Amino acid sequence: MKLSRKMQTLAASLALALATATTTLLPAFPSYAAAPQVRVQAPGYYRMMLGQFEVTAVSDGTVKVALDKLLSGEEPQQIRRLLENGFQKPDQAETSINTFLINTGGKLLLMDSGAGQLFGANVAGRLQQNLRAAGYRPEDIDAVLLTHVHLDHSGGLSAAGKRMFPNADIYLSRNEADFWLNPANKAKVDGPRASGFDQRQGFDQAQASLAPYLAAGKVKTFEPGVELFPGIRAIATPGHTPGHVFYEASSDGARMQFWGDAVHAQQAQFAHPEIAIDFDVDSASAIEQRRKAFADAAAHGYWVAAAHIAFPGIGHVRSDADAFAWEPANYSLERLN
């Protein structure tokens, strides 16, 4: 049926009105407000069972280190290449500071205490908050076992002369205590090296961190080789410092060694264990201890927990051609059972 001109005009007007209304009520591309960025890292802890022991890696944060200036033992360009191949900036390598908590069921033991505020504001210093996030309080700690007393391992013990772990005894090897707590030894170590690092600063820092515990009679020294607590023993590994030790935890046939400063640059030192760092008091002995540790861990397959391997710093060492490689722990829920 043919519409009249008047009807055609009316139909066209209705179609235009409907199209306009639809466009107004139902936009083709609805817009939403952008969600604000959070820019806060998740709490830094990771937990697993070791036999009947609960082990929790607790991060003290990270610090940027000029590894290209601190490392030696290979050509500088080779060291830079190794770091860059591991996606680290050689002059600003972001390095983890890991601590480890062991709940044996009878004791709560903390391996090292992080740096506290000794690197300055907003650098490291996360141990206390991450410890609480992991479900524990500083006052719950029965003992802090120091691998050695460099500032990034003992700096978190105290702040402004106050004990940050008020109920804890502090354990360190007798050689470590005798070295760092005797001011006369300051004259026996090197002054500033080419990197700018000065071993002599460690004496004042160690004494300040330990002072409130010494005053309270809560510093305990030991000879390596002894079992400090059931399933926990100390292993002498002098070199990085004169009294440096590993700790080994054993439960139901499972083993984990806590390595302190056997490794500072995982991208370089597993492939080239001969690479040393200026932080070593005795570099030759530190290299020897590192080679021995890598070979033993690769041969026996036990767990390793290291202070400066990327958080959580737990994994295994394997042989790789004529050197070694690091295999980080796979994230696991099953390992909590």
pLDDT for 120-157, tens place per residue?
Answer: 888 899 999 999 999 999 999 999 999 999 999 999 99
Task: Judge whether residue 292 has pLDDT over 80.
Answer: yes
Structure confidence by residue, pLDDT tens digits, 22-38: 555 555 666 677 899 99
Chain Cα centroid distance, residue 171: 20
The domain of 117 spans 45-64+95-261+272-328
DSSP code of residue 184: G
29-79 confidence digits (pLDDT tens): 666 778 999 999 999 999 999 999 999 999 999 999 999 999 999 999 999
Residue 159 lies in a domain: yes
**DSSP class per residue in 188-216:** GS----TTS--TTHHHHHHHHHHHHHHHT
Name the pLDDT band for 230 (thresholds 50, 70, 90): very high
Say if CB 152 and CB 179 are below 8 A apart: no
In a domain, 88, yes or no: no
Q: Is residue 135 part of a domain?
A: yes
Domain count, the chain: 1
- Domain assignment present for residue 144? The answer is yes
In a domain, 70, yes or no: no
pLDDT value of residue 166: 98
Chain centre to alpha carbon of residue 206: 20
Q: Which residue has the tokens 């690091």?
A: 326
Q: Which pLDDT does position 4 carry in this prediction?
A: 62
Whether residue 318 contacts residue 327, with contact meaning beta carbons closer than 8 Å, is answered with yes
In a domain, 251, yes or no: yes
Per-residue pLDDT at 278: 96
pTM listed for this prediction? 0.89
Confirm whether 35 is domain-assigned: no
Tell whether 69 is covered by a domain.
no
Q: What is the CATH number of the domain that holds 171?
A: 3.60.15.10
Query: Three-state SS for 6?
Result: helix
What pLDDT was estimated at residue 120?
Answer: 86
The per-residue pLDDT of the chain, averaged, comes to: 93
